[in-house]
C-alpha cells in the first residue's frame, strides 16, 4: 500500500514538473538549413530533455549488443566457478560424513572447474588419506608445501599420516617445520613441546612456554603452572650437582605456584643442607598448612640431620594437633610416634581412622603398634590380613603408575605434569571388583597388588 501511494505521488510530481516546464513563458529562435522555428521556451527545454534521454537509451542498447559476447563469457565463467565452489563444499561435507570416495570425486571435479584453488587439492589429499592411499596423499601434500598459504595445512596432513603409520620421527620433523612458521600452529607447538619434555630438555621447553602468548586468564594460569612444573623439573635434576641453581629454580616455581609441594620439598632440602634450617621449616610449615600434604609434614619432622626419634616427634607435634584433622596427618604423626616408641600417642592418632574402613597404611601401622606395645602377634596378624583388602592410600600417580616421589613427566606417555596425589585408579577398580557379588563357581584370578 505504501509502495503504491509512493508511486502515485511520484507520478504526480513528474507530471507537475513537465507541465511547469512546458508552461514557461518566452520563445526560442532556431535557424537551420534555411528553416526558422520559434517554439516556446518550455517546449524547447522538454524536447531537449527527451532527446538526451533517447540518446542515452540508444547508446546503452548499442553497448549491450557490443558487449554481449564478453557478458556471455563472464556468465559462463561465473557459472563454472559456482559449480566448482558447490562441488568443493559438497566434497568437504562428504568427507566429514565418512564418504571419502565421493569426496575425492568431488575434489577432482572442483579442481577441473577451479584449477588454481588450493582447497580442492587439499580436499583430495585428505580424501586419499582417509582411503588409505598414503602415496597419493603424500604427493598431494608435498605439492601443497610449496605454497605459503597451504604449507601449514599440508604439514598437518603429513603429520597425521606419519602418526597413523607410527613414524614418530617423521611426524616430529613435520611438526618442527610447521612450528618454525610464524605464527606457529597449536598442534605443531604441542608436538614439539611434548617431545622436549619427554626427553628432559627442560630449558628449551621453558623457553617455548615463556614465548607463548596468553590470551585470557585461564590460559595465563595454565602457562604459569607449566612454567612452575618445568622450573621444578630443572631443580630436581640439579639438586645434587648444582644445589644453588636448583634452589633458584625451585624458588622461581614457588613464586608462580606458592603451594606447589614438589618445589617446596626440593627447596627445603637444599636450605637444610646449607644450614638454613629455619628457612626450610618456615617454608614447609606454610606449605603444609596450605595443602595438608603428608610429604611436607614428614620432611618437617626429619629436617634436622642426626636428630633423635623423640626430637622428630616433637617437631611433628608442632604441626599436627591431636586428634589429627586428616588421615594423612594421622599417619605422619603415628609414624613419628612409633619411631619414638610412644605407642599411646600413635594409637590415639589413628583412633578415628582405624575404627571404620582403615586404609592399608593405617592397618600396617596398627599392626606395628599391637606388636610393639603389647607384643600381641595375633592382633598384629589380624591387622596385616586386613591390610591386604584395605583401600589404598593416596600416592603420586600417573597413567596407572605409582611413584614414591613426584616426577615431572609420565613414564608411560611422557606427558608433562601427569603425576597427581591421589588414590591409584587400579586400586579403586580392585575394590570395585572385590565388592561385586561372587560368581557361582570360583574362578582363579590375578593376585592382589602387593600380595
Region of poorest pLDDT, from 44-48, 167-171, 229-233, 371-375: 44-48
Handedness of CA 309, 311, 317, 323 (dihedral sign): positive
Instruction: Please give the pLDDT value at position 405.
Output: 92
Res. 271 pLDDT band, cuts 50 70 90: very high
pLDDT for residue 350 is more than 90:
yes
CA gap 258, 374 in Å, rounded:
44
Which pTM value belongs to this model?
0.71
If one compares 28 and 384, the residue with the highest pLDDT of the two is 384
277 and 304 Cβ atoms separated by less than 8 Å: yes
- Continuous H helices in 38-185: 41-66, 68-96, 100-113, 118-131, 134-145, 151-164, 168-179
152 and 123 Cβ atoms separated by less than 8 Å: no
74 and 90 Cβ atoms separated by less than 8 Å: no
Percent of the chain with pLDDT over 90: 41
Instruction: Please give the pLDDT value at position 26.
Output: 66
Instruction: Please give the pLDDT value at position 71.
Output: 80
In this structure, the number of other CB atoms found within 10 A of the CB of residue 202 comes to 23
Instruction: Please give the pLDDT value at position 32.
Output: 66
Mean pLDDT on 175-185: 80
Backbone angles phi, psi at 333, to 5 degrees: -65, -45
Q: Under 8 Å CB-to-CB from 280, ≥6 apart: which residues?
A: 267, 268, 269, 271, 272, 303
pLDDT for residue 426 is more than 60:
no
Q: What angle do CA 324, 325, 327 make, to 5 degrees?
A: 75
Percentage helix, strand, coil, to 5, in the chain? Answer: 70, 5, 25
Q: Under 8 Å CB-to-CB from 243, ≥6 apart: which residues?
A: 270, 273, 274
Instruction: Please give the pLDDT value at position 22.
Output: 64
pLDDT for residue 439 is more than 80:
no
Backbone angles phi, psi at 26, to 5 degrees: 105, 165
Instruction: Please give the pLDDT value at position 441.
Output: 38
| pLDDT tens digits, one per residue of 114-163 | 887 888 888 888 888 788 787 888 788 887 887 777 888 888 888 888 88
In a 3-state reduction of DSSP, which class is residue 363?
A: helix
How many residues are present in the chain?
451
Looking at the DSSP bridge assignments, the partners of residue 172 are: none
**What is the secondary structure of 257-300 as a DSSP string?**
STT-HHHHHHHHHHHHHTT-HHHHHHHHHHHHHHH--HHHHHHH
Amino acid at each position: 500500500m505504501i509502495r503504491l501511494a509512493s508511486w502515485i505521488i511520484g507520478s504526480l510530481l513528474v507530471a507537475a514538473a513537465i507541465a511547469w516546464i512546458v508552461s514557461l513563458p518566452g520563445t526560442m529562435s532556431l535557424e537551420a538549413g534555411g528553416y526558422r522555428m520559434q517554439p516556446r521556451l518550455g517546449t524547447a527545454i522538454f524536447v531537449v530533455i527527451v532527446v538526451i534521454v533517447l540518446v542515452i537509451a540508444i547508446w546503452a542498447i548499442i553497448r549491450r549488443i557490443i558487449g554481449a559476447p564478453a557478458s556471455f563469457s563472464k556468465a559462463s565463467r561465473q557459472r563454472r566457478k559456482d559449480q566448482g565452489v558447490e562441488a568443493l563444499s559438497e566434497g568437504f561435507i562428504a568427507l566429514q560424513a565418512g564418504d571419502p570416495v565421493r569426496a575425492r570425486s568431488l575434489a577432482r571435479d572442483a579442481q577441473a572447474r577451479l584449477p588454481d584453488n588450493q582447497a580442492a587439492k587439499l580436499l583430495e589429499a585428505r580424501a586419499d588419506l582417509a582411503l588409505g592411499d598414503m602415496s597419493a596423499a603424500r604427493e598431494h601434500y608435498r605439492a601443497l608445501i610449496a605454497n605459503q598459504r597451504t604449507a601449514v595445512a599440508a604439514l598437518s596432513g603429513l603429520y597425521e599420516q606419519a602418526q597413523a603409520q607410527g613414524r614418530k620421527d617423521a611426524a616430529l620433523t613435520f611438526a618442527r617445520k610447521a612450528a618454525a612458521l610464524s605464527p606457529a600452529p597449536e598442534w605443531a607447538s604441542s608436538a614439539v613441546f611434548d617431545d622436549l619434555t619427554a626427553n628432559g630438555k627442560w630449558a628449551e621447553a621453558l623457553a617455548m612456554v615463556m614465548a607463548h602468548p596468553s590470551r585470557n586468564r585461564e590460559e595465563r594460569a595454565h602457562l604459569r603452572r607449566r612454567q612452575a612444573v618445568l622450573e621444578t623439573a630443572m631443580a630436581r635434576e640439579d639438586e645434587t650437582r648444582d644445589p644453588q641453581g636448583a634452589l633458584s629454580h625451585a624458588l622461581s616455581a614457588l613464586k608462580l605456584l606458592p603451594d606447589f609441594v614438589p618445589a617446596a620439598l626440593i627447596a627445603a632440602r637444599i636450605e637444610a643442607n646449607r644450614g638454613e634450617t629455619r628457612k626450610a621449616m618456615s617454608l614447609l610449615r606454610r606449605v603444609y598448612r596450605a595443602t595438608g600434604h603428608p610429604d611436607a609434614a614428614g620432611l618437617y619432622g626429619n629436617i634436622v640431620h642426626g636428630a633423635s626419634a623423640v626430637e622428630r616427634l616433637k617437631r611433628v607435634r608442632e604441626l599436627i594437633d591431636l586428634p589429627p584433622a586428616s588421615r594423612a596427618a594421622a599417619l605422619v604423626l603415628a609414624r613419628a610416634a612409633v619411631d619414638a616408641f610412644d605407642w599411646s600417642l600413635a594409637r590415639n592418632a589413628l583412633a578415628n581412622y582405624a575404627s571404620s574402613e582403615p586404609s592399608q597404611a593405617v592397618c600396617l601401622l596398627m599392626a606395628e603398634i599391637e606388636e610393639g606395645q603389647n607384643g600381641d602377634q595375633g592382633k598384629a596378624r589380624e591387622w596385616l590380613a586386613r591390610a591386604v583388602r584395605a583401600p589404598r592410600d593416596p600416592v603420586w600417580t600417573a597413567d596407572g603408575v605409582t611413584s614414591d616421589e613426584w616426577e615431572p613427566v609420565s613414564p608411560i606417555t611422557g606427558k608433562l605434569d601427569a603425576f597427581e596425589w591421589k588414590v591409584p585408579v587400579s586400586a579403586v577398580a580392585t575394590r570395585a571388583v572385590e565388592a561385586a557379588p561372587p560368581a557361582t563357581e570360583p574362578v582363579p584370578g590375578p593376585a592382589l597388588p602387593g600380595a
